A and B are shown apart, each in its own frame.
Chain A
Amino acid sequence: MAFKKFTPRKKYCRFCASREILLDYKNVEMLKDFITDRGKIIARRITGNCAKHQRVLTTEIKKARQMALLYYTVTHSADVKKKTT
């Protein structure tokens, strides 16, 4: 038992597991799970998404950024602007 390795929980693709989750740029709360606090898209190595869904996810996140539903970077976010002015 001395050398028992730490085994992390198996990651799985959330969108493959449930067809209910709509992968859509309007579903901002869901997209927020896949970006960091700074607004960067989290690698699928970390989230466990499959390649197919990660591809769709990135384009949807980028659409949401275009429409000001998500920020590109924190320094551009409306919250930061409010604090500085």
Chain B
Amino acid sequence: MTQRLGLIVNPLAGIGGRVGLKGSDGVAIQQKALALGGISEAQDRAAKALQALVPFKDKVKLFTPPGEMGELAAWHAGFEPVVLGSIAPGATTAQDTQRSAQDMQRLGMDLLLFAGGDGTARDIYNAVGTSLPTLGIPAGVKMHSPVFAIHPSSAGWLAVEFLFGPTAHLQEAEVIDLDEEAYRLGVVATRLYGTLIIPYHRLMVQNQKVPTPASQSVQAEAIAAAVIEEMRPGFLTILGPGTTTRAVAQRLGFPKTLVGVDVITRQEVVALDVGEARILELIGQKPALIVVTITGGQGFLFGRGNQPISPQVLRLVGKENLIVISPSEKLNALQGQPLLVDTGDTQVDQMLSGYLPVLTGYRERVYYRVAAQVEL
């Protein structure tokens, strides 16, 4: 049976990297990178990924946007793609990526490959969300999101395995947002942006250190069960963003905003997607627990994506009512780096520094080092 494969290349991905710009988001930076002699390797990387699919050429119908957004890489790899839509060559934009992805979604793809970095992953998420399987070919400057294969050729191998083999499965993976402006100033500011559905094979996707998705979901459920045991009657529970905290709400049968801060009790949802003021109002009336997970790829506890849990909220709730949860592979991925706090309040950062227990499973904790945001 013929498989329908989409390919979108962000031709500007990665151009900021070699010239030291720490990213390629936005037209201004792209022009600066081009002026400095930046070259995108996205074409080559996409073509390299397609190499693995060449033996299956007769069984694959390849769809791409025109020219440098996929068509060229496809021809280069020896495919004759079906070309969709039109673009203005030389200055493609995030809108072009999103429009192409929506075209693919309309036509129905078995898999959509995209070559780019975190910014491209965000565009793909904005366009198609979790409506079809997608997979990133690493070609950007920053790839904090584990939606990318570890290597361009791994992306091709994984596509083959998913489309024609028995051993790849689908899995939800996080798309990480990183503030490039802040990053250039030396501050890592990652936060969870959304999720994509990716084909998963434990040997081919980066940042995956668990044996299988099944064991990962069992671990998330175990953590959720442990948290629910800690949710005392009469207490509010402030849930930070993330898939790990979402599992807590799901286990109670409640909705949860993926990137927002929500307030619940064991019995009910008190408020979704709250800001600092609303939290302060709520905890003025009742004692509370704070449940947060590590945000993004850098191991931030506070100050990245969960700002509604402000220094004042942390002071009022207290360190003793803070529950940090994390699948162990997220801790392992930190490679010994401490968890970071950057609440904007030195005293609160100080209060949280030292060693904090991190719930990693049911009746399982890790004592892990926490430090105030350090120099990069």
* Chains A and B bind each other: no
Interface residues, chain B, with chain A CB atoms under 8 Å away? none
